[in-house]
Structure 1
């Protein structure tokens, strides 16, 4: 269950990052509320996961999901550059995240 909570925390982290971008584009109270909900839920699920998982592992995987997911969403939704080097480094982050899961 801790791993499920950790993945959900990472997904909410990605949502929070999207809401930061939305808030920069559209300064509305709805964007600010969604940003707070996204990061708040992310921290709650991360805290739940850390009841069982080691702090270092949980934090590394949480940031890996958030960082790589945010980069992928930027490529897909906002036409950010998608050159080979960028994709390769995103893949390395995802590979390290999966590797931590496998050895934990």
Structure 2
């Protein structure tokens, strides 16, 4: 379960980075709320995963998913 949370955190992080461009081009409330929700969910899932997975391992995988995405 924690590995799934970590993978989902990485996917939310990638989605949040994609939404940064949308916020800068569209400047509407929906885009901004989606951006905040995406990054908030990413950090929440990362913190859940780090309860079991060591911090260094979780952070390396989380940033690796973000880099690949």
Interval of TM-score (by shorter of Structure 1 and Structure 2): over 0.9
* Number of equivalences: 69
Deviations 1:8-67 (A, max 9, x none): 000100110111011111111111100000000000100000000000110011011012
Larger radius of gyration: 1
State the TM-score, normalized to the length of structure 2: 0.95
- Partner residue, 2:35: 35
- Structure 1 gaps of 5+ residues are 70-104
Deviation beyond 2 Å, 4+ runs, structure 1 = none
Answer 1 or 2: higher relative contact order, Cα 8 Å, separation at least 6: 2
Deviations 1:53-103 (A, max 9, x none): 00011001101101211xxxxxxxxxxxxxxxxxxxxxxxxxxxxxxxxxx
- The gaps in structure 2 that reach 5 residues or longer are none
TM-score by length of 1: 0.64
